[in-house]
């Protein structure tokens, strides 16, 4: 009883100390609710990293699991720290020429940053942390496509440069109020800004590295390299879906009941439709229902709706998700035919469906035009493709990109880390 009274007093004191003068108003309450939702959304996006880690682990070989996990854990650290150092201010430079601006190193704010005067939806700090989680998400997309054969050091160097510079600069074009925002280009939660930005780097990485040993034989045969843990992969996908409620729901940038609840529904419908689309496509093509394909399918639907979750109707969200599910299966098969080895389907999910989702806004929403959406897709494609190529080539020259053949066969866990992920278990390192 005594504890409860003390808590109440502290809470009231604490609450009123935040407010300017006098009694709390309805506007203050709304601000608190908005800010609270945005913080919840921020940590929902955070848990997506656990989703990526488990999904990638599940879809790759056991002998490389430590390496995959190491990349995933280090990427979130690098993403957040570089965003604090320079990314946030590159992405939101304030008034700038529309292409490139920088409002200084580090993050800081005055008292105004903690009030609705900064933004009715969130404080400066909430703004930073929510956006920082997005940055880290874009960076981690690459790790799946380059898995099982990239040198750890090379990957870390590439990712640091890409997430510190490329991601926020191209992000400023739209969310930072740059030239694409002026053209009414719409990417609600990042089909282009996050998923295709990561996807282009994933594509460049995968083909610059080359395929894993034994994946494509000289006479054109494609050998599947099976993921070692389907339960982990499934856990990963459901965690990603779970986090996506924050990813899309928080992109409303407030707790507006109508907007957030609408976005929750469009997001969910698209994810579900993505599962079905992938299920049908892969079942028809392969004659057997493939779990890894429908897992990718749900993510495809989610990526597909991410650009337009706020402006595409529920019915069309289903269509967007269905088509994304079909696209992802076809993309996986096509990439294999082109001898681009993507162990987890990152390119198919994030790049292919990121592009689809962005264009879908122009197709299904009366407020935006397909032509403008296409211009945006093209602009990001050009910049990301070129910059990823440059960075990868420089890293290749300086550090080398790939591990040695012997290390790749033995497993990167032993080669890069001198450690086993499943110590005590008998795993086959080769077939």
Partner 1 sequence: MKLIIAIIQPEELPYIKEELLKREIYKFTVTNAKGQGKEFPVQEVYRGISHEITLLKKVRLEIAVNDEFVEPAVEAITKVAKKDGDKGRGKIFILPIEECVRIRTGETGSVAIG
Q: Footprint of partner 1 on this chain (CB under 8 A)?
A: 214, 406, 409-410, 414, 417-420, 426-431
Q: CA–CA distance from 280 to each of 78, 274, 329, 350 (Å)?
A: 39, 10, 10, 20
C-alpha to C-alpha distances, 17 to 7, 34, 115, nearest whole angstrom: 15, 18, 12
Q: Helix or strand or coil: residue 222?
A: strand
Helix pair angle (291-306, 257-286), 10° resolution:
140
| Cβ closest to partner 1, residue 97 vs residue 426 | 426
Q: Of 110 and 220, which CB lies nearer to partner 1 in the complex structure? A: 220
Query: Smallest distance from the beta carbon of 64 to partner 1, in angstroms?
Result: 14
State the minimum distance, in angstroms, from the CB of residue 144 to partner 1. 25
- Using the minimum distance from each CB to partner 1, give the nearer residue, 213 or 333: 213
Query: Nearest distance from residue 216's CB to partner 1, in Å?
Result: 15
Rounded distance, CA 314 to CA 115, Å?
34
Please answer whether residues 192 and 379 qualify as being in contact, where contact means their C-beta atoms are separated by less than 8 angstroms: no
The encoded tokens of residue 80 equal 């957040």
- Got the DSSP string for 36-56? HHHHHHHHHHHHHHHHHHHHH
Q: How many Å separate Cα 247 from the centre of its chain?
A: 9
Name the minimum Å distance from CB 52 to partner 1: 24
> In sequence order, what DSSP letters do the residues of 330-381 get, joined into one string?
HHHHHHHHTT---TT-HIIIIIIHHHHHHHHHHHH-TTS-HHHHHHHHHHHH
In the complex, the smallest distance separating the C-beta of residue 406 from partner 1, rounded to whole angstroms, is 7
Beta strands in 268-395, from DSSP E residues, in sequence order: none
C-beta of 333 vs 414, nearer to partner 1: 414
Residues 6 or more apart in contact with residue 63 via CB below 8 angstroms: 410, 411, 412, 413, 414, 421, 427, 429
Q: Report, in Å, the least distance between residue 73 CB and partner 1.
A: 15
Nearer to partner 1 by C-beta: 382 or 419?
419
Residue 202 near residue 145 (C-beta atoms within 8 A): yes
The CB-of-229 to partner 1 minimum distance in angstroms stands at: 17
**Choice between 396 and 417, CB closer to partner 1:** 417
CB nearer partner 1, residue 259 or residue 414: 414
Q: Which of 229, 236, 237 is nearest to 299 (CA)?
A: 237
Q: Distance (Å, rounded) from C-alpha 164 to C-alpha 228?
A: 33
CA distance 142 to 161: 13
Output 95 or 221, the one with its CB closest to partner 1: 221
Retrieve residue 131's tokens: 């956006």
Least distance (Å) from partner 1 to the CB of residue 214? 7
Smallest distance, Å, CB 400 to partner 1?
21
- By beta-carbon proximity to partner 1, the closer residue of 256 and 407 is 407
């Amino acid at each position: 009883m005594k504890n409860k009274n003390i808590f109440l007093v502290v809470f009231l004191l604490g609450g009123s100390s935040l407010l300017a003068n006098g009694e709390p108003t309805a506007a203050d309450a709304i601000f608190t609710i908005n800010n609270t939702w945005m913080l919840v959304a921020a940590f929902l996006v955070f848990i997506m990293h656990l989703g990526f880690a488990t999904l990638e682990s599940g879809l790759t070989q056991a002998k490389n699991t430590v390496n995959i996990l190491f990349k995933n854990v280090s990427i979130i650290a690098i993403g957040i720290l570089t965003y604090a150092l320079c990314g946030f201010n590159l992405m939101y430079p304030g008034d700038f020429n529309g292409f490139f601006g920088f409002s200084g190193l580090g993050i800081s704010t005055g008292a105004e940053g903690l009030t609705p005067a900064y933004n009715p939806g969130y404080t400066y700090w909430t703004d930073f942390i929510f956006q920082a989680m997005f940055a880290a998400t874009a960076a981690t997309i690459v790790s799946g496509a380059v898995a099982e054969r990239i040198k750890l050091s090379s990957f870390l160097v590439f990712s640091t440069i890409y997430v510190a510079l490329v991601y926020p600069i191209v992000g400023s074009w739209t969310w930072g109020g740059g030239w694409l925002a002026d053209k009414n280009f719409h990417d609600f939660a990042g089909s282009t800004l996050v998923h295709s930005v990561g996807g282009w780097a994933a594509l460049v990485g995968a083909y610059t590295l080359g395929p894993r040993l034994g994946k494509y034989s000289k006479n054109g045969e494609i050998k599947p390299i099976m993921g070692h843990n389907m339960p982990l992969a499934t856990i990963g996908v459901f965690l990603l879906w779970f986090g996506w409620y924050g990813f899309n729901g928080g992109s409303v940038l407030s707790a507006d009941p109508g907007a957030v609840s609408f976005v929750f529904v469009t997001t969910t419908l698209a994810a579900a439709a993505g599962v079905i689309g992938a299920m049908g496509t892969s079942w028809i093509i392969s004659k057997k229902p493939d779990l890894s394909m429908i897992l990718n399918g749900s993510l495809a639907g989610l990526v597909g709706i991410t650009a337009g979750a706020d402006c595409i109707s529920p019915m069309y969200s289903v269509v967007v998700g269905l088509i994304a599910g079909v696209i992802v299966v076809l993309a996986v098969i096509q990439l294999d035919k082109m001898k681009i080895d993507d162990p987890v389907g990152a390119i198919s999910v994030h790049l292919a469906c990121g592009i689809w989702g962005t264009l879908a806004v122009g197709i299904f929403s009366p407020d935006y035009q397909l032509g403008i959406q296409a211009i945006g897709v093209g602009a990001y494609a050009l910049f990301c493709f070129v910059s990823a190529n440059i960075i990868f080539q420089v890293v290749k020259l300086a550090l080398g990109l790939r591990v040695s053949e012997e290390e790749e066969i033995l497993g990167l866990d032993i080669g890069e880390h001198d450690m086993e992920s499943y110590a005590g278990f008998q795993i086959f390192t080769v077939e």
